[in-house]
Structure 1
């Protein structure tokens, strides 16, 4: 699996600010609607429901919110880089400035887990995260995410 298969270029955005986790989820829902036609309110609700089971802030300023939604034919992703980190309840208590949200079809099984593992491995690379944090252009962020994973997999 390759990140370019689950992340469309129009699903990458730089956010000047998000005041809270809920506001970030609303921005994610809006971007998922624009990029993939997902129902934004239902997507936000599904993200909040999943988050209530335990925070998806994985540490080092990274969050991997994810949920299952109807109307998808495969796993899709949204990436947001925040100019101002927000409190997210991450396991290391660090504020989050990189969020990669995943949406899987309701009936998805192993495909969802493989995508989550790929994104997690990708964003564990501190060099890659530093490059993401140093750039403010969505197209550049997309290139870093998609090319970075190909290089690492080779």
Structure 2
């Protein structure tokens, strides 16, 4: 599994000032709808429902919100780079500026976990984080995230 199969070029965006986690989830749902044809309201509701179980802000300015959806055939992702960090109730209490969201089929099981592990590993790489934070072009951000590297499952 690699991120190029999960993350479409049109699913990467740079956002200006977002005022709330709810607004962030709306942007993620709308981006998933535009890139993959998902129902934006279902995607948004699913992200909010998952977040109510516990925050997906993993620390160091990174959030990995994810949800399982009926009718989805494969795991897909969207990525947002926020120009102004957003309070996200992260484990380290730091605001987030990099958000990688995954949407998986309701019954995906292991594939969802493999994708989440891959995204998590990628987003823990200090060199990748530095490049992501230094660039504002969606095509460049997509290239940074999907460049070939070791993608063995955790």
Please state which band the TM-score falls in when normalised by the shorter chain: over 0.9
Which one of 146, 149, 152 corresponds to residue 151 of structure 1?
A: 149
Partners of 2:71 and 2:79 lie apart in 1 by 20
RMSD: 1.1
Partners of 2:91 and 2:11 lie apart in 1 by 26
Q: Unaligned regions of 5+ residues in structure 1, if any?
A: none
1:108 aligns with 2:112: no
Contact map agreement 2:59 2:93 (CA 8 A) in 1: yes
Partners of 1:48 and 1:72 lie apart in 2 by 18
Residue 14 of structure 1 aligns to a residue in which SS? strand
Q: Deviations over 1:47-91 (max 9, x none)?
A: 000000000000000000000012211000000000000000000
1:83 alignment partner in structure 2: 83
Point out 4+ residue stretches in structure 1 off by more than 2 angstroms.
Answer: 151-154
1:25 alignment partner in structure 2: 25
Partners of 2:48 and 2:98 lie apart in 1 by 18
2:12 alignment partner in structure 1: 12
Contact map agreement 2:118 2:151 (CA 8 A) in 1: no
Give the TM-score of the pair, scaled to structure 2. 0.96
Give the TM-score of the pair, scaled to structure 1. 0.96
Question: What is the deviation of 1:137?
Answer: 0.2
Q: Deviations over 1:4-44 (max 9, x none)?
A: 01000000000012111110000000000000011111111
Partners of 1:70 and 1:4 lie apart in 2 by 23
